[in-house]
């Protein structure tokens, strides 16, 4: 898959990534919702399929040490 665009969460606490192959296009968009000892992230994962259908899934993530 090829990276089409990418933004880093460091700039405005929002993240976006877009990748594609010959058949699929996938994008992740979201923002930081909390960032003390652990980083909490909330957004959407969107998949565009070869038949033209689009699936959007809410995502939530947490990371920390």
pLDDT score at 48: 97
pLDDT score at 62: 86
Confidence of residue 1 (pLDDT cuts 50, 70, 90): confident
pLDDT score at 23: 95
Q: Which residues contact 4 (CB under 8 A, 6 or more apart)?
A: 18, 19, 20, 25
pLDDT in tens, 4-61: 988 876 667 888 899 999 999 999 999 988 767 778 889 999 999 999 999 999 999 8
What b/e sequence results for 5-37 when a residue is b if at least 16 CB atoms lie within 10 Å of its CB, and e otherwise?
Answer: eeeeeeeeeebebbeeeeeebbbbbbebeeeee
């Amino acid at each position: 898959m090829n990276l089409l665009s990418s933004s880093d969460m460091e700039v405005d606490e929002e993240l976006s990534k877009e990748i594609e192959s010959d058949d699929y296009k996938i994008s992740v968009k979201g923002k930081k919702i909390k960032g003390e000892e652990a980083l909490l992230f909330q957004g959407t994962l969107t998949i565009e399929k070869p038949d033209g259908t689009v699936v959007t899934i809410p995502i939530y993530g947490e990371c920390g040490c």
